[in-house]
Amino acid sequence: MNSLRIKIRHLLVQGETGKEVCIMGWVRSKRESKKVTFLTVNDGSTIHHMQVVVDLEKFSEDTLKQIHTGAAVKVTGTLVESVGRGQRVEIRASDIEVYGTADPETYPLQKKGHSLEFLREIAHLRPRTNTFGAVLRIRHAMAYAIHKYFNDRGFYYMHTPIITASDAEGAGEMFRVTTLDMEQPPRTPEGKVDYSKDFFGKETKLTVSGQLEGELGALALSEIYTFGPTFRAENSNTPRHLAEFWMIEPEMAFYDIHDNMDLAEDFLKFLVRYAMEHCTDDLEFLNQMYDKELLSRLQFILDNEFVRMGYTEAMDILVKSGQKWEFPVQWGSDLQAEHERFLVEKHFRKPVMLTDYPMEIKAFYMKQNKDGKTVRALDVLFPRIGEIIGGSQREENYEALHRRIHEMGLPMKDLWWYLDTRRFGTAPHSGFGLGFERLILFITGMSNIRDVIPFPRTPRNAEF
């Protein structure tokens, strides 16, 4: 069917004029004049369209009637130099086959620009827009670059479970996984739901993070990373939160917090550089359409050494800033996006890596400092995004970890295997989690996280 077919991206860049070529794709626009009709066709391989010149003498009215914006077509013809502006080459059609028509009365993606809000309602069709084509290609390129980065450095890709019985972050924001009859669940003698009758014989949830299992891998293979879906039932309707998002979690044995920071900075810079080198057309499009500062913001990441600072010192800056905050600042409170962005965008004008957060606001597994108050947490803060990475050096000492789990009232019985690694050949180790959609938000300059994942899952929304 497509033995002769060539992707538009290829033809536009290096197609030889005078040759017979064939493309397949979707019509983006149709412009009629007396003797010819101009079509633009896109096949998803590039932000740019192929212009097709249709000589009315050569085609029946019947064929032309079927071709509207949205139709899927196969075009065969000669690649010629384009006389019009905007493209190097175009196709003079000799044959057009229409695979699927799109009724102009009902096809929602007519040529005019649509709001991002409207496009969310038609997420099944939005990949056919310039914007989502660009975002999805960049998303792909970033996923590939992540695997390349780690593979080239000897990290192993480890698959951690999606269904789990432990709450890695201890935050209790998990979705339940069950096959019990919700109308009439089995009950224990005390009247509670009897999960011993459930599929796994215990209560299970969707994972919030692959970290705990990742640590098991790192304590055998030295350096691993995960890259998979994670789920959080936090009811935060913000432009930076999803209920289902993808996370990259490298975990490294024999790394302390400083090694961890070095890796995080190098990794982020690599990804930004990769995007700038490999997604040039799409980034230029987004820069022009949505965010005139996008390219300079990406360059800003490459040009600056990230600031490294303790939470306590950062808190001091926030307190003394004289800013009016929506959320109050005082030692012990967590940083909100407004505080993070102030530090990055106003105070330092550089990406910031904060460490040594108060123990009370961080997860149980973080390495405890000698002061008895802080832990070796690491948050990486970016312009516009705030927190893009969260991580830490891990508590490798059995007694200290055991004490913390107990203090926080976490279920010890579900964590026996995690504690075991601290009994057998424990070693200093560190890791972090990069929110994939937060990265894509930053790289694309889009302002809502719902627009950087094909089918967003957010409170009260699981369409498509």
Count of chain residues binding Mg ion (CB under 5 A)? 1
Distances (CA, A) of 425 to 167, 397, 398, 415, 421: 24, 11, 11, 17, 7
Query: Least distance from C-beta 395 to ligand 4AD, angstroms?
Result: 12
Q: Choosing among ligand 4AD, Mg ion, none, which partner's interface includes residue 139 (Cβ < 5 to 8 Å by kind)?
A: none
Nearer to Mg ion, 250 or 390 (CB): 390
Q: Choosing among Mg ion, ligand 4AD, none, which partner's interface includes residue 226 (Cβ < 5 to 8 Å by kind)?
A: none
Could you count the other beta carbons within 10 Å of the beta carbon of residue 103?
9
Query: Least distance from C-beta 409 to ligand 4AD, angstroms?
Result: 19
In one-letter notation, the amino acid at residue 138 is I
Cα torsion 74, 78, 81, 82 to 10°: value is: -40
The residue within the footprint of Mg ion, chosen from 214, 228, 390, 435 (CB under 5 A), is: 390
Q: Choosing among ligand 4AD, Mg ion, none, which partner's interface includes residue 28 (Cβ < 5 to 8 Å by kind)?
A: none
Q: Choosing among ligand 4AD, Mg ion, none, which partner's interface includes residue 168 (Cβ < 5 to 8 Å by kind)?
A: ligand 4AD
Question: How far apart (Å, rounded) are the C-alpha atoms in residues 358 and 411?
Answer: 22
Nearer to ligand 4AD, 133 or 456 (CB): 456
Query: Least distance from C-beta 207 to ligand 4AD, angstroms?
Result: 10
Question: How far apart (Å, rounded) are the C-alpha atoms in residues 440 and 447?
Answer: 10
Q: Choosing among Mg ion, ligand 4AD, none, which partner's interface includes residue 375 (Cβ < 5 to 8 Å by kind)?
A: none
Could you count the other beta carbons within 10 Å of the beta carbon of residue 332?
13
Query: Least distance from C-beta 135 to ligand 4AD, angstroms?
Result: 16
Residue closest to Mg ion, measured at CB = 390
Q: Choosing among Mg ion, ligand 4AD, none, which partner's interface includes residue 395 (Cβ < 5 to 8 Å by kind)?
A: none
Q: Choosing among Mg ion, ligand 4AD, none, which partner's interface includes residue 30 (Cβ < 5 to 8 Å by kind)?
A: none
Task: Give me 418's structure tokens.
Answer: 């995690």
Q: Residue 25, interface with Mg ion (CB under 5 A)? A: no
**At how many degrees (to 10) do helices 416-423 and 211-221 cross?**
30
Which of 13-21, 174-182, 272-280, 382-390 is the region at the interface with Mg ion (rule: CB under 5 A)?
382-390
Query: Least distance from C-beta 72 to ligand 4AD, angstroms?
Result: 34
Query: Least distance from C-beta 214 to ligand 4AD, angstroms?
Result: 7
Distances (CA, A) of 262 to 254, 258, 379, 421: 14, 6, 13, 25
- DSSP labels for 126-179? GGGSHHHHHHHHHHHHHHHHHHHHHHHTTPEE----SEESS-TTSS----EE--
Query: Least distance from C-beta 452 to ligand 4AD, angstroms?
Result: 10
Q: Choosing among ligand 4AD, Mg ion, none, which partner's interface includes residue 248 (Cβ < 5 to 8 Å by kind)?
A: none
Tell me which residues touch ligand 4AD (CB under 6 A): 168-169, 209, 211, 232, 241-242, 245, 247, 249, 387-392, 431-433, 435, 437-438
In one-letter notation, the amino acid at residue 135 is V
Q: What is the contact surface with Mg ion in residues (CB under 5 A)? A: 390
